[in-house]
Amino acid sequence: MSHKKITITDVALAAGVSVATVSLVLSGKGRISQTTSERVNHTIDQLGFVRNRQASSLRGGESGVVGLIVRDICEPFYAEMTAGLGEMFEAQGKVLFLLQSGPAASGLARCFDTLLTHGVDGIVIAGGIHYLDEKMRAKAVEQGVPLICASRSGGTEGVDLVRPDNMQAAKMATEYLIRKGHKQIAYLGGLGNSLTRAERLGGFCATLLQYGLPFRSEWIIECDYQHRLAADAAEDLLRRYPKISAIVCHKSSVALGAYFGVLRTGNQVAGGSLNSLFQKQVALIGIEDSPELALTEPPLTAVSNSAREIGHTTARRLLLRLAGQNLETQDIIIHSTIIERGSA
Amino acid sequence: MSHKKITITDVALAAGVSVATVSLVLSGKGRISQTTSERVNHTIDQLGFVRNRQASSLRGGESGVVGLIVRDICEPFYAEMTAGLGEMFEAQGKVLFLLQSGPAASGLARCFDTLLTHGVDGIVIAGGIHYLDEKMRAKAVEQGVPLICASRSGGTEGVDLVRPDNMQAAKMATEYLIRKGHKQIAYLGGLGNSLTRAERLGGFCATLLQYGLPFRSEWIIECDYQHRLAADAAEDLLRRYPKISAIVCHKSSVALGAYFGVLRTGNQVAGGSLNSLFQKQVALIGIEDSPELALTEPPLTAVSNSAREIGHTTARRLLLRLAGQNLETQDIIIHSTIIERGSA
DNA sequence: TTGAAAGCGATACCAA
DNA sequence: TTGGTATCGCTTTCAA
């Protein structure tokens, strides 16, 4: 018993005007008299008419849909970036297709085709952008669909890219520790094949050099996303090199892990009240913030991840392209700020 | 210089067949000879043709699009549920519209209209479902668009709902503590107006009664999402009622906060090695797991949030409805499991 | 200011 | 097994 769907024809009939008029009222384009406009609008919500965007975009206009391909929406960074994107687009009356590419290369290509077939106006690729190949690029150009990447690390050719300034973030973190008087600083976390990590390490090392501090490669420790390993690694590092007085943590989960690692060594995390003069204090700072870091005692200072801002900026950039602007491809770098919480 | 878009007409022309034939090849419906089929397929990817789904769904078919309205994608629970939904739908060749309704009631209605206008085949509402009113319900029915809710707590009428079993989750958590020998158990976290909390409290109280344990309303403490407050609340609670030996935590962030609260009182969290016989041990258990809970020393036991499974189940249910099954509206309840980590 | 009519790209029915 | 063609709902000239 599905009530026959209401179309502009029905509206036109009921309002006693032509379909063309209804269409004009809908889009607010032609000059329509006050009275007609009101009458049409009235019949529209009397009949419960909903405009069919598929039909309108078929005829010529935009679809009002942008596609987002994200590797894994569960990663807080991408979740927040997605939220930022969504906010911005929804404010423009656009809506987001969300596809998850997963870890495999084939995922991206599959998502890409799906989006094209659905007639999106533009595509945002977030994460896993190294899988973006020339073939996809070409296809996007051919279809006239602008492409833009948002990622945690750099490295694409001929495509707009919005990303955090990993180097600057690490620099800020390191300088923060140095200004607090630390001279023996280690870097903990991330895996060797991570581009993001490479960039952050760059900032870390450069800052040490800049301040004339020693750089020791044994103080740069890999450890993967499993929290517990970060704690182990921190503990091990501190036991082996008791001189270390501060650690730059590759990401927030590592910072949290390191926090527990420090406690296990019997030392204190710097910033809290000094309970004992016999305990050494180790300072921690995280790159990429997360709410959990506010929780420890003392709470941990971190560098913001700027995920939401990256989302906003990406959306704005894509909107420019959609507006038909002919722009050079560009890397847009979003800076981070320090979120000081009292650890030092 | 946008290359004119390739349509099936172009393909038909190039392959020397009719558009009807191409369409049949595309959908694999009519019986087409091997040779023709191959020739068509060949020209298709020679010309780089991409099928326009807007056009096909206009004519009659499904759009292959499902709308998802989520209050805030940044909440890990909903992020993971979204991931589960996406996986399932993508496996069926469907794609997800993601809209964020935000905290306001108006948000839901706006998202809802947007989705209808875009011609989605079905709609999933995740979170904020108490804003779902009769008007929207009616509109969905009128448009023939199945509606389904996925949420953390119950309470809708006439709409399919997939949700966790909050009561059972709290029951499990409480029983877990009781079996470890605890008799003085408190409940910490959540706000009074939360339905989810009400359900969990129900399970908590029922279990206490069932085991003949005392139920004291002063041991049921509200505290909001700010982590730090959870620590304060736990500390305060334990100082005021030193008899309390275990706490059921409303969610994972509260559990983490409570962990620090316990430490501040000078007590130990149960499960670790006994450092001192003079310290009391307080057991913690979280409802809704999160990776951070594996991090503390000792790691915290929790009840799984089953977010991904809720996503899967919701998707399956909607797919049934899309397949035209005429089903009774139903509440589907997903059970939780204990993730034991050694705290007790 | 409004109306009539020609498509947009794909589908599906009816013929051939 | 294939080909013509009306049709989906809407936009957009061009006339009235």
Residue A154's identity, in one-letter code, is G
Helices A8-15 & A34-47 angle (0-180, nearest 10): 120
Ramachandran quadrant class, B93 (left: phi over 0; alpha: psi -120 to 50; beta: rest): left
A183 and A248 share one domain: yes
Q: Give the number of domains in chain B.
A: 3
Residues shown for chain B: 344
Residue B119 in any domain: the answer is yes
Q: Does A234 touch chain B (CB under 8 A)?
A: no
pLDDT tens-digit readout, B119-133: 999 999 998 788 888
Which candidate, B177, B241, B169, B258, places its Cα nearest to that of B213?
A: B177
Interface of B with A in 15-34 (CB under 8 A): none
3-state secondary structure of B287: strand
* Closest CB from A54, A228, A264 relative to B63: A54
Identify the H or E element spanning A164: strand A160-164
Interface of B with A in 308-337 (CB under 8 A): none
Q: Measured on CA atoms in the order A291, A292, A297, A298, is the torsion positive or negative?
A: negative
Max Cα-Cα span within chain B: 90
Residue B144's identity, in one-letter code, is G
Checking if the pLDDT of A178 tops 70, the result is yes
A186 and A87 share one domain: no
Residue B309 or A27, more confident: B309
Of B57, B76, B92, the domain-final residue: B57
Average pLDDT over residues A165-189: 95
B142 and B228 share one domain: no
User: What separation in angstroms does the CA of A300 have from each of A190, A264, A270, A308, A343?
Assistant: 19, 17, 9, 21, 5
Q: What is the CATH number of the domain that holds B159?
A: 3.40.50.2300
Of B33, B57, B81, the domain-final residue: B57
Which candidate, B123, B120, B127, B26, places its Cα nearest to that of B70?
A: B127
User: Residue A91's domain spans which residues?
Assistant: 65-164+307-335
pLDDT score, position A9: 93
A60 CB neighbour count, 10 Å cutoff: 6
pLDDT tens-digit readout, B21-62: 999 999 888 788 999 999 999 999 999 999 999 999 998 778
pLDDT tens-digit readout, A231-277: 889 999 999 999 999 999 999 989 999 998 998 898 888 875 545 55
The whole-chain average pLDDT of chain B stands at: 90
* Closest CB from A118, A144, A231 relative to B2: A144
pLDDT score, position B278: 59
Q: Which residue has the tokens 């009807």?
A: B20
Give the list of residues 6+ apart from residue B72 with CB closer than 8 angstroms, or none.
Answer: A83, B78, B100, B102, B103, B127
pLDDT tens-digit readout, A99-129: 999 888 889 999 999 999 999 999 999 987 8
Average pLDDT over residues B2-18: 87
A82 and A24 share one domain: no
Residue B343 in any domain: the answer is no
Q: What is the C-alpha separation between A316 and A322, in angstroms, rounded? A: 10
What is the DSSP annotation of B120-184?
-SEEEEES-GGG--HHHHHHHHHHT--EEEE-SS---SSSEEEEE-HHHHHHHHHHHHHHTT---
Which candidate, A251, A244, A176, A172, places its Cα nearest to that of A214?
A: A244
| CA of residue B61 relative to chain centroid, distance | 29
Residue B344 in any domain: the answer is no
Give the list of residues 6+ apart from residue A40 with CB closer than 8 angstroms, or none.
Answer: A11, A15, A17, A21, A22, A25, A32
Residue A1 in any domain: the answer is no
Shortest distance between the Cα of A171 and any Cα of chain B, in A, equals 27
Beta carbons of A76 and B73 less than 8 Å apart: no
Beta carbons of A98 and B99 less than 8 Å apart: no
Lookup: tokens for A177: 């520790």
B239 and B180 share one domain: yes
Closest B-chain CA to A225: B291
Tell how strand A301-303 and strand A338-339 pair up. antiparallel
Sheet holding B147-150, edge to edge: A331-334, A160-164, A147-150, A122-126, A65-70, A95-100, B95-100, B65-70, B122-126, B147-150, B160-164, B331-334
| CA of residue A252 relative to chain centroid, distance | 15
* Closest CB from B3, B72, B79 relative to A74: B79
Tell how strand B185-188 and strand B220-221 pair up. parallel
3-state secondary structure of B93: coil
Q: What is the C-alpha separation between B134 and B124, in angstroms, rounded? A: 16
B298 and B204 share one domain: yes
pLDDT score, position B241: 95
B19 and B113 share one domain: no
Q: What is the C-alpha separation between A258 and A229, in angstroms, rounded? A: 9
Q: Does A107 touch chain B (CB under 8 A)?
A: no
Q: What is the C-alpha separation between A151 and A78, in angstroms, rounded? A: 9
Q: Does B104 touch chain A (CB under 8 A)?
A: no
Residue A278 in any domain: the answer is yes
pLDDT tens-digit readout, A202-213: 999 999 999 999
Which residues share a beta bridge with A188?
A221, A249
CA atoms within 13 A on the CB side of A318: 34
Beta carbons of A117 and B50 less than 8 Å apart: yes
Q: What is the C-alpha separation between A217 and B319, in angstroms, rounded? A: 54
Q: What is the C-alpha separation between B256 and B234, in angstroms, rounded? A: 10
A192 and A100 share one domain: no
When computed from its CA atoms, the radius of gyration of chain A, rounded to whole angstroms, is 26
Residue B295 in any domain: the answer is yes
3-state helix, strand, coil in chain A (%, to 5): 45, 15, 35
Q: What is the C-alpha separation between A86 and A311, in angstroms, rounded? A: 8
B105 CB neighbour count, 10 Å cutoff: 14
List the single range of A276-280, B45-49, B289-293, B339-343 with lowest mean pLDDT: A276-280
Q: What is the C-alpha separation between A282 and A243, in angstroms, rounded? A: 10
User: What separation in angstroms does the CA of A55 have from each of A112, A141, A338, B150, B226?
Assistant: 23, 24, 49, 30, 47
pLDDT score, position A278: 59
Q: Are A77 and A305 in contact (CB under 8 A)?
A: yes
Checking if the pLDDT of A27 tops 80, the result is yes
pLDDT score, position B131: 83
B153 and B213 share one domain: no
A contacts of B89 (beta carbons < 8 Å) = none
B contacts of A95 (beta carbons < 8 Å) = 97-99, 114-115, 118
B contacts of A73 (beta carbons < 8 Å) = 73, 79, 82-83, 86
Q: Which residue has the tokens 């590419």?
A: A101
pTM of the model: 0.89
Name the phi and psi angles at A97, rounded to 5: -90, 125
A184 and A290 share one domain: yes
pLDDT score, position B228: 59
Q: What is the C-alpha separation between A185 and A213, in angstroms, rounded? A: 9
Give the list of residues 6+ apart from residue B3 with CB closer than 8 angstroms, or none.
Answer: A142, A144
Confidence class for position A185, pLDDT limits 50, 70, 90: very high
Q: Are A150 and A128 in contact (CB under 8 A)?
A: no
Confidence class for position B343, pLDDT limits 50, 70, 90: low
Beta carbons of B97 and A98 less than 8 Å apart: yes
Q: What is the CATH number of the domain that holds A49?
A: 1.10.260
Residue A343 in any domain: the answer is no
Lookup: tokens for B185: 């158990």
pLDDT tens-digit readout, B149-179: 998 876 677 899 999 999 999 999 999 999 9
Of A57, A74, A97, the domain-final residue: A57
Residue A30 in any domain: the answer is yes
Q: Are B100 and B112 in contact (CB under 8 A)?
A: no
Residues shown for chain A: 344
pLDDT score, position A82: 97
A98 and A50 share one domain: no
pLDDT tens-digit readout, B77-89: 999 999 999 999 9
Residue A279's identity, in one-letter code, is Q
Checking if the pLDDT of A1 tops 60, the result is no
pLDDT score, position B1: 47
Could you tell me the distance in Å between the CA of residue A56 and the C1' of nucleotide D9? 7
Beta carbons of A99 and B117 less than 8 Å apart: no
Residue B96 or B253, more confident: B96
Interface of A with B in 152-171 (CB under 8 A): none
B183 and B149 share one domain: no
Interface of A with B in 249-268 (CB under 8 A): 253, 256-257, 260, 263-264
